[in-house]
Amino acid sequence: MNTSNLTITRKRGGWIVREKATRKQVNQGILRLRKDALEFIDNLINNESQIRPSKLYFKSEFKKFADERVDIASDPTIALTFGGAAGYTADWNTRIEPLFDDCLLSDFKYNQMSAFIIKCSKAGHKFKTLARMARNIKAFLKVMAERGNNPCLDMLKYDITKQWEVVPADHELRYETKTSVIDEDQLGKMILDLQKSKDKDFKSAYKFALISTLFLFGLRRAEIKGRKQKDVDFDNSFLTINSVYIAREGGLLKRTKNKGSFRNIDVDENGLLFFNWWIKTIKKYKPKSDWLYPSFRGEAPISDSGFSNLLWQTFADYGFAKIHYHNGHVVVDESPLKNAVSKTFRHRLGTALINAMDYEKLSRNYIKKTLGHTRFATSQDRYGNHDTQVAKSITATKGRLLNSKLIS
């Protein structure tokens, strides 16, 4: 914008800044004093980045924004993860770039969004995917507004649940699918059987340790991989979660999924006995490692493939999955837990804790802290409406089902 082409005029008892040629208003709202309008122009002259570009197109700006997210996520000191950035890239690659009819950023309005969503739906994209994309586009537009890039904020009123042309009648298709949860009786049998064979060799011990950790604490995979042996505080009976391990982002990262995920999880007597046995076992087989869940080879923590292989091998042993091997990796042929190899334990624990709130006097704060959520509403939405039979056998271990001690 040529700042020499700006002028100030009166409007509704105040002042605004306009372009002389187009009469288009440049500032937001009404400025109270004439000197405020003159100061606004001075600021534009001194800082050209505050000028709202008039020829920014939606597709090019969204692509820049998506790439920028990926670049930011590559910095391990920044909270944004590759997982968070990947959603914008997926939106660009599979929907916006091939299907969106481009327009000026300032012209991207409610009607354009509505037409785009319908087009994506007809192309076979699922409702839940489109709902996530709508949230991402809104986040993009808000950032563009903060940068002074003049998007049309009319789109922020868009609500995909009111666009009946794409909303499925089936609630399972409309909302996030609940993760399958292992049957309680089968789960108890599996853990007790693993306990009996835990001292056979390191792999047998590891199967028991990994299943027990998931069962007792419902940790996320990256949280498990990021644990050091020193994170177990035997004196104060808690497990510290203050980091994650994500190999593709540089390894050990001093961050967690969200603010609520930084936490000290209470460890009861069973848990302390378990960790005492497991650390002694690690010292026996991996004496130089300080990881709580070390790799079978090398000095790093267990790899993603090692983690998945161990779980699927265990599930297959107990009839939860049918698998075969390809180039040394487990391939899952059939399983009700196929897309939730570790999440099933997290969902089971979350459901159990919520169902046990009343008769075990568990507070909302205790539950969200245990699960690593910032808000209890997240815990309840994710885990509060599984089949209540999941938690009928909850014992005094505050929602962590087991009919005998892990380590006898």
Question: Which pLDDT value is given to residue 328?
Answer: 77
Average pLDDT, the chain: 82
Question: Which pLDDT value is given to residue 189?
Answer: 86
Question: Which pLDDT value is given to residue 379?
Answer: 79
pLDDT at 53 over 50: no
* 213, part of any domain: yes
Q: Are residues 81 and 100 in the same domain?
A: yes
* 353, part of any domain: yes
Number of domains in the chain: 3
pLDDT at 13 over 90: no
pLDDT at 406 over 80: no
Question: Which pLDDT value is given to residue 52?
Answer: 47
Q: Are residues 197 and 272 in the same domain?
A: yes
Residues 306-359 have pLDDT tens digits of 999 999 999 999 888 898 888 878 888 888 776 677 788 888 888 888 887 877
The highest-confidence range among 61-75, 143-157, 194-208, by mean pLDDT, is 194-208
Q: Are residues 213 and 356 in the same domain?
A: yes
Q: Are residues 157 and 294 in the same domain?
A: no
Q: Are residues 233 and 358 in the same domain?
A: yes
Residue 304 maps to which CATH number? 1.10.443.10
Question: Which pLDDT value is given to residue 396?
Answer: 33
Q: Are residues 140 and 263 in the same domain?
A: no
Top pLDDT among 51 and 77 is at: 77
Last residue of a domain, one of 134, 154, 174: 174
* 27, part of any domain: yes
Interval 218-231 mean pLDDT: 94
Q: Are residues 115 and 44 in the same domain?
A: no
* 291, part of any domain: yes
pLDDT at 151 over 80: no
Question: Which pLDDT value is given to residue 404?
Answer: 40
Question: Which pLDDT value is given to residue 75?
Answer: 63
Question: How many percent of the chain have pLDDT more than 90?
Answer: 33
Confidence of residue 228 (pLDDT cuts 50, 70, 90): very high
Q: Are residues 251 and 377 in the same domain?
A: yes
Confidence of residue 403 (pLDDT cuts 50, 70, 90): very low
Q: Are residues 98 and 170 in the same domain?
A: yes
* 404, part of any domain: no
Last residue of a domain, one of 174, 206, 222: 174
**pTM summary value:** 0.63
Interval 121-141 mean pLDDT: 90
Interval 15-29 mean pLDDT: 79
Residues 171-219 have pLDDT tens digits of 554 455 566 777 777 888 899 899 999 999 999 999 999 999 998 898 9
Which domain range does residue 11 map to? 3-50
Last residue of a domain, one of 143, 174, 205: 174
* 398, part of any domain: no
Q: Are residues 296 and 244 in the same domain?
A: yes
* 317, part of any domain: yes
Range in 11-15, 122-126, 206-210 with the lowest mean pLDDT: 11-15
* 30, part of any domain: yes
Range in 206-220, 290-304, 326-340, 394-408 with the lowest mean pLDDT: 394-408
Confidence of residue 394 (pLDDT cuts 50, 70, 90): very low
Q: Are residues 103 and 229 in the same domain?
A: no
Q: SS3 for the chain, per residue?
A: CCHHHEEEEEECCEEEEEECCCCCECCCCCECCHHHHHHHHHHHHHCHHHCCCCCCEHHHHHHHHHHHHHHHHCCCCCCCCHHHHHHHHHHHHHHHHHHCCCCEHHHCCHHHHHHHHHHHHHCCCCHHHHHHHHHHHHHHHHHHHHCCCCCCHHHHHCCHHHCCCCCCCCHHHHCCCCCCCCCHHHHHHHHHHHHHCCCCCHHHHHHHHHHHHHHHHCCCHHHHHCCEHHHEECCCCEEEECCEEEHHHCEEECCCCCHHHCEEEECCHHHHHHHHHHHHHHHHHCCCCCECCECCCCCCECCHHHHHHHHHHHHHHCCCCEEEEECCEEEEEECCCCCCCCHHHHHHHHHHHHHCCCCCCCCHHHHHHHHCCCCHHHHHHHHCCCCHHHHCCCCCCCCCCCCCCCCC
Question: Which pLDDT value is given to residue 183?
Answer: 74
Q: Are residues 43 and 67 in the same domain?
A: no
